[in-house]
Amino acid sequence: MLIFKKQSDLRNWISRQGKVCIGFVPTMGALHRGHISLIEQSKRECELTVCSIFVNPTQFNDPADLAKYPRPIGSDIELLLQAGCDALFLPEYDDLYKTDELLQTDLGGLDALWEGAIRPGHFQGVVTVVKKLFDAVRPTHVFFGQKDFQQCSVIRKMMRNFDMKISFRMCDIVREDDGLAMSSRNIRLSAEERKTASNIYKTLSTATIKKETLSPEMLGQWATKELGNAGMVVEYAAIVDTTDLKPATTWEWPTVLLVAVKLPSVRLIDNILLS
């Protein structure tokens, strides 16, 4: 696996590969089996697979959260080697950001709901760095995890705005044995918190059954109560339209249950497609 720290070196290498299918998996590191599943999917579909590791400061609205974000680069590189990744882009901040200016693009209100409402400016930071990374790698395919469902929607909107001819793949959530969605933040959970967090997937799974007898609004209320009773602070548990992420009023269109909860040590998000 080749490791590049400068955009210019990465671009020169990519240009020498000719017209090949290039899969790209952007990450913030602290890699786990969920990230590796994206690498594996890229390798199945593409001739070359590039991963990036960059902890992007512009998408953190809490400096403490940024400071606590894990950065185990040695073990990350080992995992990528084992997965057969072809190249790792490991840029410094100054190589990506010439100024602190954020990308200005209309995200159609997708950045103002749910995560966007709780973390103002977060998605502008996300699309800024993703656009920079796409420009550096120039992939034909990109791979993201469904766990960050709203982020996937925002990035796809940004891609449409800039008419990017890139195939977008949203890959299935990879879960622990107890159902907890894999996340780099899970290592900060205590044993007791981990036990509590397992109730997230139990609630999501049960929601797929209760959907048959409850309206979207009632199901959201039920999920909120279940998660709260399990000992978590619920920031939101809502059934939304998969297209515009606005609250669903009927089951007529595809919907997803989005969840965000807080435990003493960490904040977790998850989701499940309902129709």
The token pair at 270 is: 């998850």
Residue 148 DSSP symbol: G
The answer to whether residue 122 is catalytic is no
User: Is the CB of residue 22 less than 8 Å from the CB of residue 159?
Assistant: no
CA 14 to chain CA centroid, Å, is 25
Residue 108 DSSP symbol: T
Distance between CA atoms of residues 76 and 254, nearest Å: 36
Distance between CA atoms of residues 48 and 257, nearest Å: 34
Query: What number of CA atoms fall less than 13 Å from residue 33's CA on the CB side?
Result: 10
Q: Which one from 32, 35, 122, 141 is the annotated catalytic residue?
A: 35
At 130, give phi and psi (nearest 5°): -65, -40
The number of helix segments (H) and strand segments (E) in the chain equals 10, 9
Active site residues: 35
